[in-house]
């Protein structure tokens, strides 16, 4: 019995500490940043309009070797989980091999006619460098992980954010199976009351 008591003391101390300190502080939220993005049709859109949604933000390109698998995968995810609260926000970018040379109208036509893309498309942006869209600079600065803070290395880099607008994870150009599992996990978590205001 003394051995059991010896193990219970640290556990009780930990529970007391958690009770006193509470949960870890929440990270920064996208929804507190007042970001505006221009949609593919030229209209400004407040990103705070997506409050309470799980967001998958991705830089897309029409003429990349990964275009087919990614557009198909993004549309499948969106179709499957939209009703549960997933939003895919696609931002065309021409910084990698000049693989998104078209106009916004051409990009929209391509995405809809080739892949039936029904998720929100935004106007073409830069994701790296001095002219990078503030959204992508913020995502790189606030996403945890080994290479999260580095510049994007290619097309179809994905940032997953929880319902509270907090960055959860960054994914490379490939369509990793872990992405769908992470989407399911975040969809199962409720938004905080602050996020739903």
Find all residues with CB under 8 Å of 197, minimum gap 6, and list them: 51
CB 156 within 8 A of CB 60: yes
Distance in angstroms (rounded) separating the CA atoms of residues 17 and 11: 10
3-class DSSP state for residue 51? coil
Catalytic residue check, 93: no
Query: Of the residues 40, 55, 56, 64, which is catalytic?
Result: 64
Strands (E), the chain: 36-38, 44-46, 54-60, 86-92, 158-161, 167-171
Show which residues are catalytic. Answer: 64
């Amino acid at each position: 019995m003394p051995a059991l008591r010896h193990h219970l003391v640290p556990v009780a101390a930990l529970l007391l500490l958690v009770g006193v300190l509470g949960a870890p502080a929440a990270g920064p939220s996208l929804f507190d940043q007042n970001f505006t993005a221009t949609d593919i049709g030229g209209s400004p859109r407040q990103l705070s309009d997506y409050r309470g949604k799980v967001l998958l933000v991705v830089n897309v390109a029409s003429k990349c070797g990964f275009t087919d698998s990614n557009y198909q995968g993004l549309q499948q995810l969106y179709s499957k989980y939209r009703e549960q609260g997933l939003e895919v926000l696609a931002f065309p970018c021409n910084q990698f091999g000049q693989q998104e040379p078209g106009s916004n109208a051409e990009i929209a036509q391509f995405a809809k006619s080739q892949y039936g893309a029904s998720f929100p498309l935004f106007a073409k942006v830069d994701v790296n460098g001095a002219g990078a869209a503030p959204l992508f600079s913020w995502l790189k600065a606030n996403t945890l992980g080994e290479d999260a803070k580095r510049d994007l290395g290619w097309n179809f880099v994905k940032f997953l954010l929880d319902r509270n607008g907090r960055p959860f994870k960054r994914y490379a150009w490939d369509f990793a199976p872990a992405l769908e599992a992470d989407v399911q996990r975040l969809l199962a978590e409720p938004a905080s009351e602050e996020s739903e205001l």
